[in-house]
A = this chain, B = another copy of it.
Amino acid sequence: MMTTADNSPLDRPQGPLAGITVIDLTHVINGPFATAILADMGARVIKVEPPQGDDTRRNGPYLGEKSLYFACVNRGKESVALNLKDDADRTIFINMVRKADVVVENYRPGVMDRLGFSFPELQKINPRIIYAASSGFGHSGPLTLNPAYDTIIQGMSGLMEATGFPDGPATRVGTSVSDIAAGLYLYAGIVTALYDRERTGHGAQVDIAMFDATLAFLEHPFMGWAATGKAPPRIGNRHPSMTPFDTFAAKDRPFVLCCGNDHLFGILCHTIGLPELIQDPRFVTNVLRTQNNSALKTELEAVFSARTADDWIQELDAAGLPVGPLLDIAEATALPQTAARKMVVTAGGLKMPGNPIKLSSYPDCDTRPAAPELNEHGAALRQEFSS
């Protein structure tokens, strides 16, 4: 159902969330990542910024004067600057809440309460409102007020300890995966609550924690702990129980090879001219290959080092083995696959990732409306929500 007249000035994507209005109090990346998906899916997202604007407007990388970081996770949104401690601005905000479907924020827990906009207060304004919050540790528990940068969460959840090589340090994932995973859970939680509201008529509070999200992503380390009570050791790039299933150095650069069973291992040994390895007592079964993975890697890399990664990938792929190159982001985005899937889109002329949720019922555009300037739609929005 349409809960507001759509007065948005943006030419938004068609999508399943058309007619939904989101009041977006989020900042930096975790919350904005979720509300950008809402916008991609057709919702009207009104970004309510403090008078000085979202801090991320001042974070690089930049292209000219534009923060790409800000542009990416705020595409397709409108912006109004409101001071939520000012009475006139609070009235505007309250009028928005009355007409909206969802309020989203990623402040430290307690901020909304102190502003007088806790979930019970928001429900008094609009009984059908969905109030969605994301934070480092969630809105409950003894660590609820702890600082919650992505690196702190990656460190405390066990993710960094699980990433890296046995003889090297615990390693941060090279993207803010705890922020982003929580952002995606936040989107999922909001849509789940919207679905529920269609059937029950009731809103809900959605409470997402970066820490919870990261724990839920820790599949193998979590299972290893559940089995033994101890954290499994770091194992670099190899698979914990299948061998050879790892990165291997070729003449020029490494590549990925995944031989998960005896059959594929046999094909590999014949293809690379080492058939004697099949009967080698160290390598006869997958369990033995895994125990002796280092010795096997040495044998294989002695052969692989003679030719380039591209050569090996071509030959091993032709033999029916699962292989792939190790690409950087410039090479990955240059793959024709990336264009075919519209996974590089532009908004305001800037390149950014597309939306991985491909639905047959709506177009998957390769352009999106640009992220707004601070307060770009302020006058129109203040007018629209003056009552």
Contact = CB atoms under 8 A, between A and B. Distances in A.
A142 B338 CA distance: 10
B151 A329 contact: no
Contacts of A232: 329
- The quantity of this chain's copies bound in the complex is 2
Contact of A187 (B173, B188, B343): B188
A102 to B, nearest CB: 12
The interface residues of chain A, by DSSP majority, are classed as mixed
Interface in A137-151: 137-138, 140-143, 146-147, 149, 151
Interface in A229-251: 229-232, 234-237, 239-241, 245-247
A358 B168 CA distance: 36
Interface of A: 1, 16-17, 29, 33, 37, 41, 59-63, 68-69, 72-73, 119, 137-138, 140-143, 146-147, 149, 151-153, 155-165, 168-177, 179-182, 184-185, 187-189, 191-196, 198-200, 202, 204-209, 211-213, 215-232, 234-237, 239-241, 245-247, 254-256, 258, 260, 322-333, 335-338, 340-341, 343, 350-361
A227 to B, nearest CB: 4
Interface centre among A155, A174, A222, A237, by most chain B C-beta atoms within 10 angstroms, is A174
B337 A143 contact: yes
A256 B152 contact: yes
Contacts of A219: 29, 33, 69, 72-73, 175-176, 179-180
Given A184-B188, A225-B329, A247 B170 contact: yes
B227 A61 contact: yes
A222 to B, nearest CB: 6
Contacts of A195: 16-17, 191, 194-195, 198
Given A165-B171, A180-B217, A258 B152 contact: yes
A243 B235 CA distance: 29
Contact of A204 (B163, B180, B329, B360): B360
Contacts of A200: 361
A207 B341 CA distance: 10
